[in-house]
Amino acid sequence: MRKSRGSRWVAVAMAGIVAWAAGCVTTPRFDRTGSQPADTVIVNAQILTSDTNRPYADSIAVKGERIAYVGDRRGVADFVGPATEVVDGHGRLVTPGFIDNHCHPLWIGGMTYLQPWELFTLETQADLLAWVKQRAEEHPELPLIGGIGWKLSQLPEGPRREILDAVVPDRPVMLMSYSGQGGWLNSKAIEWMESRNPVAFELLAPVRDPKTGKCTGECMRYHVINFLDYWTWAELGSEVEEGVMAAMTRTLNEALSYGVTTMHDVQLYPQFIPLILKFRDRGGLDNVRVRGAYYVGHERLADETQLKQDLMAWKKLYKAESGPHLVLGDSLKFYIDGTMDNWTSFQLEPYTDNPATCGRPDWTQKEFDRVIEIADALGLQCCAHACGDAGARRVVNAYEHAQAANGPRDARHRIEHCEMPSAEDWPRMARLGILAAMQPQHFYGDEMIEKRLGYERAQRRSPWRSLHEAGVAVSFGTDWAAGPFNPAYGLLIADLRMNYKGDDDWGPKEAVPVEEGIRFWTAGSAHALFMEQDIGTLEPGKYADLAVFNTDLREMPTLWFLLFHEVGLGNLDTFVDFTMVGGRVVYEKDRPGREKGTK
């Protein structure tokens, strides 16, 4: 990845005659007598700090892990000493490292060893089945054939087990839908799961034939799938364990290549935590920062004593195992509902194409009030998935109940996705300090959204602008692997308010300009993760987590950019030249004009 010293100097020389993004520039020169010499200085850049007190700068100095200076070239001169590396940004865009408020880089990232996400790229049922067959043939050593990314619209008969049995009859096939909500199993998987852990299997809400009582192959709540409910690490073996850790590494490196430096993995299971700690101790998290949330299912309330013990054990990990690169023990994940594609998000009004249902919530109001009261009393942050307007209201009610029961505090409880919060609930969210943890890529949607909601309700999806103006703290992320890790796609969608049709006819007034979207994705997400003292903005004293872009992300929504760039999946993935975490370059495609130790 690194260029030779000679090729770098060629690039520097060429900079004197080539017009870069900011016009014709020459490599900056300093006398290198600064009284506060830094390790690295970046000059001649367009720096978006996400700091409202100083939103823009052209120079930044890094010493050790922290930022020493942010400002102009004249001021940064005092930070250039004999050994300082000076990087000429040539007008490139520099932002804080992106902070993904809601994703799954460790759990699902690791499990991509068993369930790759290639299904996202396939179009028909025939394509899906061909992929499953090939996967089984090429990997006879795997205990199961998994995958992520199928859609209901691709399956004319629905996700039936017989369809998968025809291509893989002798091994479990377990496929997750693109939203994470739907599951598609073959007969062998159903047989294995029901025999190994029938209680866990029922939590997936398997659809059963009304005549035979047998599972049809479809699961409505597959988002809580945990392979470790059905296999032990000993049964999976060391080869799978190593493969899972290698898959985590690939996932984290991909995130770094897009400028994402911190991630909130919002759904961790207790059986997986020892492997995370092993991975960390091997150095697997040295280049990134990850915060984890412990998943609490609705069945846990049946035994409050055990639940409290488990939450206390989770909380102890904060002091015992947390550090600059891994934070455990302070946040929890809940689901109040599902998603719209399989009619499981909880709506105030019936679905347009299925008037018999408003969706099915995971918790009653009384149950959710109680579990949030318990968690809040322990000082834990609650992150509740809510895609429907009725779901969001139930979450707001529970957070309000907890505050009344336990007293107010800086809890920063969150609504995850927050796709359809009713306007009536926005003032309460602001007053109670409830955060909206949103993922712009979900807004893009597909043909099922309008079928499920109807055109009028589609206007109210993802009210980013309205929530922000109502005083609700908004943060952005991707929900990877339910969306691409690259923030560029979400920023473009948020600015253009673009849906799957290529139109902006779903609530266009809710659009968020790219620069504001970057703040939501950096400063906003740092606040959502309780990490704003160390990351999220480029300010002296904070960690030097930053990304240098060869393309100004603010230009993406312009006509010029759209005329000359393909914006399909994969076409915005080369915009980052290098990414820095804690003052170290952890990803490098190219570093512009570099000058080190030369007067």
Q: Binning pLDDT at 50, 70 and 90, where does residue 596 land?
A: low
Residue 351 DSSP code: B
- When pLDDT is averaged across residues 191-208 and rounded to a whole number, the result is 96
Q: Which amino acid is located at 267 in the chain?
A: Q
Contact call for residues 186 and 215 (beta carbons, < 8 A): no
- When pLDDT is averaged across residues 435-462 and rounded to a whole number, the result is 94
What is the predicted pLDDT for the residue at 393? 98
Which of 130, 134, 125, 123 is CA-nearest to residue 160? 125
What is the predicted pLDDT for the residue at 27? 56
* Residue entry with tokens 């020389």: 13
Strands (E), 159-309: 173-177, 183-185, 206-208, 215-219, 260-268, 289-295
Helix axes 389-406, 365-377, angle to 10 degrees: 50
What is the predicted pLDDT for the residue at 567? 87
Residue 121, burial from CB neighbour count under 10 angstroms (0-12, 13-18, 19+):
exposed
Average confidence score pLDDT of the chain: 93
| More confident call, 346 vs 117 | 346
Own/partner pairs for 283-286, CB < 8 Å, 24+ apart? 284/245, 284/248, 284/249, 284/252, 285/252, 285/325, 285/326, 286/325
Q: Which helix (H) or strand (E) holds 492?
A: helix 487-496
What phi, psi does 343 have (nearest 5°)?
60, 30
What are the pLDDT digits (tens) for 8-24? Answer: 323 333 333 233 333 33
Residue 154, Ramachandran bin (φ over 0: left; ψ between -120 and 50: alpha; else beta): alpha
Contact call for residues 523 and 536 (beta carbons, < 8 A): yes
What is the predicted pLDDT for the residue at 597? 58
Residue 524 DSSP code: I
- Extract the tokens encoding 384: 């509740």
Contact call for residues 163 and 125 (beta carbons, < 8 A): yes
Res 418 pLDDT > 90: yes
Q: How far is it, in rounded angstroms, from Cα 368 to Cα 132?
A: 39
Q: Binning pLDDT at 50, 70 and 90, where does residue 568 land?
A: confident
- When pLDDT is averaged across residues 552-567 and rounded to a whole number, the result is 93
Which of 185, 179, 186, 222 is CA-nearest to residue 203? 222
Q: How far is it, in rounded angstroms, from Cα 468 to Cα 426?
A: 9
Give CA torsion, residues 435, 440, 444, 449, to 10 deg: -10
Domain 5-97+541-596: which CATH class? mainly beta
Q: Binning pLDDT at 50, 70 and 90, where does residue 528 land?
A: very high
Beta strands 59-63; 66-71: pairing state:
antiparallel
Provide, rounded to the nearest whole percent, the portion of the chain with pLDDT above 70.
Answer: 94
What are the pLDDT digits (tens) for 347-365? Answer: 999 999 999 999 989 999 9
Q: What is the pTM of this model?
A: 0.92
What are the pLDDT digits (tens) for 38-79? Answer: 999 999 999 999 999 999 999 999 999 999 999 999 999 999
Residue 523 DSSP code: I
What is the predicted pLDDT for the residue at 4? 34
Res 599 pLDDT > 70: no
What are the pLDDT digits (tens) for 131-190? Answer: 999 999 999 999 999 999 999 999 999 999 999 999 999 999 999 998 888 999 999 999
Residue 541, Ramachandran bin (φ over 0: left; ψ between -120 and 50: alpha; else beta): left
Q: How far is it, in rounded angstroms, from Cα 257 to Cα 235?
A: 34
Q: HSE-up of 478 (CA within 13 Å, CB side)?
A: 27
What phi, psi does 141 have (nearest 5°)?
-80, -15
- When pLDDT is averaged across residues 318-335 and rounded to a whole number, the result is 98
